[in-house]
Each structure stands twice: as C-alpha cells, then as structure tokens.
Amino acid sequence: MEASDRREIGYPAYGGRPAPVPAAGSTPGSEERIGEGPIHPGSGRRRGWRRLTAPLGAAALVLLKLGAKLKALLILLPKLKFLATSGTMVVSVAAYSLIWGWKFALGFVLLIFVHEMGHVIQLRREGVKASAPMFIPFLGAVIAAKSLGRNALAEARVGLAGPVLGSAGAAALVPIALLTDSDFWKALAFSGFLINLFNMLPVVPLDGGRAMAALSPWMWFVGFALMIPLLVFFPNPIMLLIILFGGMVTWRRWKERKHGENADYYRVAPRDRVLVALVYIGLIALLAFGMTETHIARDFGDV
C-alpha cells in the first residue's frame, strides 16, 4: 500500500514518511516510537514519578513568587506605616463626623495630628525612635516609642512639646476666624485650645503628668485631686480610663522613684525645674486665654 493510502486510513505521517505498521503478531505498545526509542519496562515508573514531582515543582515556583512579593512588601513597609496612620485618621474623621459633620471632624483630627507630631519631633530630637501617630476614635492618638528620653527632664520636654505645637496650631486658626468672622473657625480653634489644656492636667499619662516628672512627683496626686471632681460632675469614660490607668502608673513610678537608677532619672537641676515650670504655667495661661477669646456663647432657649 502506498504512503498516501496509509494516511488516508488513519496512520499519521512523521517527517513526510509513513508511520511504521506494527508487525504481525506483535502486541500493542511493543513497537518503537519514532523519536522516543524503544520502550523499557521502567518507563512507566518514571512517568509516575513525574506525576508526583510535577505538583511539588509547581508549589516551589509559587513559593518563590511569594518570596519575591514578600521582599517587595518589606521595601514598601514605610509606605504601609504611612497608610496605617492615614487610615486611622480617616476612621477617626468618619467617627467624629457622626457628631459634628465631616468638615469640623477633619479639622479636629488635624489639630490632634499637629499635637502628636510635637511629641514625635521632640522624641527624635532626644534620639528616640518614634512611630507616626495612630488614631483611636474618641480617645485621641498614640505614638509607639521605646522610651521618653534619658531622664525626667527629657520626658518633660517630650510631654510639653505636644501642647506647644498643638497650641500653635490652634492659634493659627484665630486670624482666619477674625478675617472671616466665622463661628466655624472660632469653634475649631476653641476645640484645639481645649484638648491641649486638658492634656496639661498633671496626671500620667497626660502631657502635664510628663512635665511633673521634672518638677515634683507630688503634683501627680494634685492632678488626681482635680480629676476626681471632674469625673463626678462630668461623667466621662475617657476620664475614667485616665484615672484608672494613670493611677496604676503613678503608684508604680512613685514607689520606684528613689531606687537605684530611678533616683538618677528624677534628678533634675534647679535651673531646669524653673524652666519647665515657666513653660508649664505659661502654656496653661495662654490656653485659658485662647479659650476665652474663641468661646461662642450659645443660646439653648427655653428647655
């Protein structure tokens, strides 16, 4: 039979030549295949091993790709921290918007951000690595740092840096309020002065409690004496948390202040104590004045 006839009845052609026809009496699969050589008894086992190892190779390839993506993720980690900060800011703005509307909520969160950046800047000046602020709705914001400085004076500087920059941020809104004669900007400036003045209470972990570390730890108990009546007349879960958490920290620091290295920590030169006291009292006076000047009298009508 001609080659063309073989192709017609279904035998494939290889390289223009007819496929081999099995010899008479041979069993299927025993003939040689062109390009593959003779079939040996172990070839079936090799194909079985290929079936087993193929998924393992694919899995290894997937792991390599994941490793490359993980490396890229580590390179982008600083940007992810920024995204975490901005993300918590967005959540806080959304939470405060439920009470005040988004415009005032945005301004309020930005004022908190300015306050917290005062701490971050001073911590880095003290040689302490500090994270960017992370916002917690209705509680403010937090900064992660291994310490607050080498001694109580450094802690006081870090504590006061927040209200200093935060007060400047609130004061920057006053000219805008005067030029526009807008109650919105006055109220926002008032809120900025208020949150910074509240943080001046001499209670750990508030900023005023940090400043008292360089003055007299006895002032911590004065701060608690001021907080308790505020909690009684103006019940607030945030103030309750400050009293509970601050009480535990204050008691621990009070017991440790005269032992070993802690005694050196609280040793501050008289000149530095005076400077811290002047900044502390001056800030309180300026913040109280700012609140008075930006206060908007509200008429609630007959209730």
Residues near 174 by Cβ (< 8 Å), separated by ≥ 6?
A: 185, 189, 290, 293, 294
- Within 10 A of 140 (CB to CB), how many other CB atoms are there? 17
pLDDT of residue 41: 52
pLDDT, tens only, 25-81: 444 444 444 344 444 555 555 555 555 555 555 555 555 555 554 444 444 444 445
Burial 84-98 (b: 16+ CB within 10 A, else e): ebeebbeebbeebbe
pLDDT of residue 102: 92
Output helix, strand, coil percentages for the chain, rounded to the nearest 5. Answer: 65, 5, 30
**Which residue has better confidence, 5 or 288?**
288
pLDDT, tens only, 100-117: 999 999 999 999 999 999
CA distance 88 to 96: 12
Burial 171-186 (b: 16+ CB within 10 A, else e): bebbeebeeeeeebbb
Residue 255 has pLDDT above 50, yes or no: yes
Predicted model pTM: 0.66
Tokens at 178, concatenated: 């005067």
**Containing H/E element for 114?**
helix 102-125
Backbone angles phi, psi at 195, to 5 degrees: -65, -30
pLDDT of residue 88: 86
CA distance 155 to 208: 11
Q: What is the DSSP letter of 33?
A: B
For helices 173-180 and 270-294, the axis angle rounded to 10 degrees is: 20
Residue 166 has pLDDT above 90, yes or no: yes
CA distance 136 to 139: 5
By three-state DSSP, how is residue 231 classified? helix
CA distance 126 to 148: 8
Burial class (CB in 10 A: 0-12, 13-18, 19+), 153: buried
Tokens at 95, concatenated: 């939470």
- Within 10 A of 268 (CB to CB), how many other CB atoms are there? 18
CA distance 60 to 99: 53
pLDDT, tens only, 17-41: 454 544 444 444 444 443 444 445 5
pLDDT, tens only, 240-252: 777 777 777 777 7
Sign of CA dihedral 226, 229, 232, 233: negative
